[in-house]
Chain A
Amino acid sequence: MQQITLDSQRSLLRFLTCGSVDDGKSTLIGRLLYDAQLIFEDQLRGIHIESQRKLGDVDALDLSLLVDGLQAEREQGITIDVAYRFFSTAKRRFIVADTPGHEQYTRNMATGASSADLAVLLVDARKGLLIQTHRHSCIASLLGIRHVVLAVNKMDLMDYSEDVFRTIEKQYREFAKKLNFTSITAIPMSALLGDNVFKHSTNMPWYQGLTFMSYLEVVDADATYENEPFRMPVQWVNRPHQDFRGFSGTIAGGSINVGDDITILPTGTRAVVMRIVQYHDERTSAARGEAVTIVLDREVDVSRGNVLSSVKFPASTSERVEAHVMWMHEQSVQAGKQLLCKLGTALIPAVITKISSKIDVNTMETMPTDSLTMNEIGVCVVQFESKIGHDTYLANRDMGGFIFIDRISNETVAAGMIIRDAATTQNITWHKMDVDTNARATVKGQKPCVLWLTGLSGSGKSTIANLVERALWAEGKHTYILDGDNVRHGLSSDLGFKAEDRIENIRRVSEVSRLMTDAGLIIIVSLISPFQSERERARRTIKQNEFIEVYIDTPLEECERRDPKGLYKRARAGEIRGMTGLDAPYEAPENPELHVETMEQSPEDSALQIVSWLRTHGYLQA
């Protein structure tokens, strides 16, 4: 059983394959595994059958099918998302992330790169360096990868020419001078035929270096963490009973011993480590990467998102940082964008207050900009809503890397890497303007809010909205109507009526409503808004207690009888599709603040019902 003991001592290398589309990344991984005989027999049989079906040739073997695991990928012959593959040789174990080359899927390349120690950058010998070669190099460098294999592939199609290889190598070394790589190893190969992948190529006697596999087995890509200060973001407060209160988390830097002083960030409270618990083991010390539960010597206020930190070298708690931001969403971003930021275990609101510059990935030069489009990398100033413990990305990846999450769609829209603290004397803070929402509203004798009128087409939303506004105007209140039909002439004139367009329309109306409540107004939104989830999103966008859901409840038959715009008639005639109530669902509100039943009362009485509600709930002052 000696083999087993040795096995757990082999070191692990995490690497990714990247580069432009069709450079042969998936084929290279397939070839490596095939030549090293690391493919299970049943899997090999599977891809044999698929290759024959795809290429119509009995001997065909398309090795890229091993890693292109999605049907869409196999159909189109491209890689869409990152695949992780695990293998080991006698010398080492490997996790490879095979990432997509298409610019559209750059976010998936970044996903694979964020956990890698080494990047294998493929270049098609026929095409040389392309923009994706540059972009992927730039991302790999920013993410902290220090070792690169420049795999010059498809040498078979260039007559195994040394000149071709040397020219590409020279160009790349020149380009990479602007990046932070410590080693670049260029290898000429043919992934398709196997030259210099696992076996030395007899076609390129001029190449005396290591094969790809030999290089992977010997490269020293381990990061060193000497003299790193202690950090542990608190994940979970562990409190099984009165006598135990521990803080669970993964140590993100340095080490800790029982008896050490620590400081709790961002509050700065001090305490002493009394116990380090790891299941049935009582530890006296623990270090980076270990998942532990720490018990402190005194009752202190610690919750998820706090950082237990070295006293001598505490993490920064600035509310403002400068960071590299890689934007990953189709919609571009401008300064002023409010987002959620996840950093360590903290999730806090943040705003991009400034976009200073963006990187031209071809030249690595920076240029001024005020927005970032998808896959662009910029230098931004980020303002957190409150203090938060962090380090620079260079000092500590786990304490200096963050993601941005969209507040409404919940999508991950960007990745960021902290460059430095930006807490300068300027002291700009979160939305602390002299005249704030309350001040504006007080002048007007009203509390700002959004009356969100939802209901079927023809239910009477616009009529009632109009009457409510007139009643409020008569009392000298400041109001504004955002009507579903009217916003489509301006704010949302670029949108159609597909589900995603409707969602976007609701998002825009929500954001505008929020701005208007900041300005102190009472907003009356009149929008079918058929989905509960979309209305919930609107509720989350707008401040608490400022979102008032009003269900304008009119039965479908009555709406169809009224049919003020003739839409039901056209829908029944098949001229319109996706008509809410007919062939598209309407989800009635489950717990609206106000339920207005229009069959029971006149539109005037409905308006009165809404205004009275506002008065009794303190939104209107005399």
Chain B
Amino acid sequence: MDHLSNLEAESIHIFREVAATFERPVMMYSIGKDSSVLLHLALKAFYPSLPPFPVLHVDTGWKFREMIEFRDKRMAEVGVKLLVHRNEEAIAKGINVFNNGSGVHTDELKTVALRQALDMHKFDCAIGGARRDEERSRAKERIMSFRNQHHRWDPKRQRPELWHLYNTRIAPGESVRAFPISNWTELDIWQYIKRENIPVVPLYFAKQRPTVVRDGQIMMVDDDRMPMLPGEKPEMRMIRFRTLGCYVLTAAVESTAANIDEVVYETLSARTSERAGRMIDYDKPGSMEQKKIEGYF
């Protein structure tokens, strides 16, 4: 078997273990390229059945408009059940990145929102699209990552995980985060998207888009909620995104890669990591680990 087929088989195996051993699993869907691959793998794993779990999108209200359009179209095509959850309380309070900074924004609109959704539906396993090559604390995480009653990760006491034998046993109230694409790299993701012809949000492909430059990062001006700083005026630039999150927290890269082949080629020669465009990773050293301990993916 070739490399991508090996990765695919391992991921499908993990999906099936989750479906067979948990009572109420759910698949996290964040609309990005990794989620697109995750969804495709789930469809493959259970065919001719549909995936035996719903899909959950934790919506901060600050996603790019094209992402939401893509989500709704894609869900209708594949026919899986989509749950959308927002931390309405925080949104009502007006919490956002401009008023509260990226730390509070991510904590309230993503981490707290996720915990709310998991508690509300009593999900005992949440499948996520995190990859070990994204960030060094993720490189430390198990494929089946145990969480206590408060959704907390204890990086110092992870269960040993040998071979492909996953310990999915938990007590009531505890849960597991399962990561079927742990061992994929960014390049694997793009090559698989190409091989399997998987639809992705058009923002991954280069196009002229309205932008501003802040702290050396190129930000796309997606709608009028983004306040312009004095003297700032949106300028058109040829850009694309390597990762997609909240538009206010995700920087674009200048690029001419307008189709899948060009994106694969650009990924092969990249000199910076894809998460270089994610502001939340840089709040302080160990930032991602702390967020994960608190329940973020």
Contacts and interface: CB of A to CB of B under 8 A. Distances in A.
Instruction: Decide whether A and B assemble into one complex.
Output: yes
Contact of B136 (A12, A66, A236, A533): A66
B65 interface: no
Interface string A394-425: 00011001110100001110010000000000
A279 interface: yes
Contact of A412 (B43, B167, B261, B268): B167
A40 B271 contact: yes
Prevailing SS type, chain A contact patch: mixed
Interface residues of B, number: 67
Nearest to B136: A69
B13 A111 contact: no
Interface stretch (A76-84, A149-157, A176-184, A443-451): A76-84
A72 B156 contact: yes
Contacts of B138: 69
A277 interface: yes
Contacts of A278: 44
Given A10-B3, A83-B136, A533-B172, A248 B162 contact: no
B155 interface: yes
Interface string A9-29: 110100000000000000000
A249 B19 CA distance: 12
Interface string A39-62: 011110010001000000000000
A238 B19 CA distance: 11
A517 B20 CA distance: 33
B271 A277 contact: no
B171 to A, nearest CB: 5
Contacts of A1: 261, 264-265
Interface stretch (B46-54, B98-106, B198-206): B46-54
A390 interface: no
A370 interface: no
Interface in B117-165: 132-133, 135-140, 149, 155-156, 158-165
A478 interface: no
A304 B50 CA distance: 19
Give the interface residue-count category, chain A.
35 or more
Interface in A74-124: 74, 80-86, 93, 95, 107-108, 110-111, 114-115
A507 B8 CA distance: 41
B213 interface: no
Contact of B261 (A4, A41, A50, A70): A4
Contact of A342 (B1, B149, B156, B167): B167
A506 to B, nearest CB: 13
A81 B140 contact: yes
Contacts of A8: 2-4, 191
B185 interface: yes
Interface stretch (A288-296, A307-315, A481-489, A595-603): A288-296
Given A9-B2, A72-B155, A93-B3, A82 B140 contact: yes
Nearest to A3: B268
Contacts of A7: 187, 191, 268
B17 A235 contact: yes
A532 interface: yes
A138 interface: no
Given A12-B3, A86-B185, A235-B20, A4 B163 contact: no
A19 to B, nearest CB: 19
Nearest to A328: B160
Given A74-B286, A398-B164, A401-B162, A289 B136 contact: no
Contacts of A84: 132, 139, 182-183
B81 interface: no
Given A110-B162, A111-B160, A411-B159, A4 B172 contact: no
A244 interface: yes
Nearest to B273: A40
Given A8-B2, A67-B136, A114 B163 contact: yes
B231 interface: no
Interface of B: 1-6, 8-9, 12-13, 16-17, 19-20, 43-50, 132-133, 135-140, 149, 155-156, 158-165, 167, 169-174, 182-183, 185, 187, 191, 261, 264-265, 268, 270-273, 275-276, 285-286, 289-290
24 contacts: A7-B268, A8-B4, A67-B136, A67-B139, A69-B140, A70-B137, A70-B289, A74-B286, A111-B162, A235-B13, A235-B17, A238-B46, A250-B13, A277-B47, A279-B47, A289-B9, A291-B12, A345-B20, A398-B163, A401-B163, A403-B165, A410-B167, A410-B169, A411-B159
